[in-house]
């Protein structure tokens, strides 16, 4: 049994890593950095901050890009960004963002109460973890994400502008105040970071 596990571990270690230093991938990511590479950059209307991608799971980034491409996420600019990406582009670009070195930091706050939010987030921890570091790669990390982005995306699930069978049911009972407090709690945790170019 032990040698079987050792062999399995070796397979994992030897799996070909994505060439995230590939110049083609960096060129693809360059467009994205115009918004995702600027700390605190805002979506114009409604005004909320562009989500951080540094430290996010590659699998979740890929899932999101496919959701924009298929239309289950409705943000017009991101839909346009994802429209022409192939599955291969999506995999490479997601690995690129997930693998960039960025120091864990808290998100920009917006006025919710993080102490109340910690209590209200009790139903979320089964998937998103005690402090917003999620337990599976398809579930997003929330620790350190910007408060106004988390709040906006929870409202999108409520309105149906963002479709996901799991999250749709979970947001129904949340009031505007709950959304603000829970978002503040996750923003206060150190985690995700804005990927920036070195000067
Ligand atoms: C013009 C600014 C802009 C550009 C360029 C842009 N994005 Fe975005 N991105 C946004 C905004 C705003 C959101 C939040 C949209 C929403 O509310 O769904 C977002 C959301 C995302 C998300 C979802 C993150 C999450 O936590 O769910 C991913 C992944 C993403 N972008 C990746 C990319 C990639 C990859 C590119 C380049 C191919 C790119 N973006 C280019 C503004 C931009
Ligand atoms: C059963 C597992 C599960 C539980 C419990 C859960 N989530 Fe999620 N959550 C998910 C999955 C899966 C996604 C990605 C769905 C998608 O693709 O839109 C997600 C996405 C999110 C996002 C979007 C993150 C981003 O970067 O765009 C937020 C915010 C979020 N959840 C908050 C919560 C909150 C708040 C609760 C508790 C009220 C909660 N979740 C409970 C599984 C869960």
Q: Which protein residues touch ligand 1 with a CB less than 6 Å away? A: 31-32, 34-36, 43, 50-51, 53, 61, 64-65, 73, 75, 77-78, 81, 93, 140, 152-153
Whether 186 and 107 have beta carbons less than 8 Å apart is answered as yes
49 has which bridge partners? 42
- Tens of pLDDT, residues 48-64: 999 999 999 999 999 99
Confidence of residue 16 (pLDDT cuts 50, 70, 90): very low
Q: Where do the structural domains in the chain lie, given as residue ranges?
A: 18-188
Distance CA(44)–CA(15), nearest Å, equals 41
Nearest CA to ligand 2 atom 3: 127
Question: What's the per-residue H, E or C state across the chain?
Answer: CHHHHHHHHHHHHHCCCCCCCCHHHHHHHHHHHHHHCCCCCEECCCCEECCCCECCCHHHHHHHHHHHHHCCECCHHHHHHHHCCCHHHHHHHHHHHHHCCCCCECCCCCCCCHHHHHHHHHHCHHHHCCCCCCCCCCCCCCCCCCHHHHHHHHHHHHHCCECCHHHHHHHCCCCHHHHHHHHHHHHHCCECECCCCCC
Residue 12 has pLDDT above 90, yes or no: no
pLDDT for 22: 77
Could you report the per-residue pLDDT of 124-167, keeping only the tens digit for each? 999 999 999 999 999 999 999 999 999 999 999 999 999 999 99
CA of 51 to the centre of ligand 1 (A): 7
Given this structure, which CATH class describes domain 18-188? mainly alpha
The CA–CA distances, whole Å, from 28 to 31, 35, 66, 184 equal 6, 13, 16, 32
Please give the average per-residue pLDDT across 112-132, as a whole number: 97
What average pLDDT is seen over the chain?
90
């Amino acid at each position: 049994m032990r040698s079987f596990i050792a062999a399995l571990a070796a397979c994992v270690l030897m799996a070909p890593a994505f060439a995230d230093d590939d110049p083609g991938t960096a060129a693809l990511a360059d467009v994205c950095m115009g918004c995702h590479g600027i700390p605190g950059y805002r979506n114009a209307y409604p005004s909320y901050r562009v989500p951080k991608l540094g430290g996010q799971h590659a699998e979740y980034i890929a899932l999101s890009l496919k959701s924009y491409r298929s239309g289950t996420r409705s943000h017009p600019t991101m839909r346009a960004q994802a429209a022409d990406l192939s599955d291969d582009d999506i995999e490479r670009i997601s690995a690129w963002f997930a693998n960039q070195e960025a120091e864990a930091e808290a998100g920009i706050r917006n006025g919710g109460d993080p102490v109340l939010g910690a209590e209200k987030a009790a139903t979320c921890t089964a998937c998103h973890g005690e402090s917003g570091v999620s337990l599976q790669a398809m579930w997003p990390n929330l620790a350190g994400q910007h408060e106004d982005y988390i709040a906006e995306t929870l409202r999108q699930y409520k309105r149906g502008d963002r479709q996901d069978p799991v999250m749709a049911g979970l947001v129904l009972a949340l009031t505007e105040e709950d959304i603000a407090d829970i978002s503040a709690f996750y923003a206060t945790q150190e985690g995700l970071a804005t990927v920036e170019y070195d000067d």
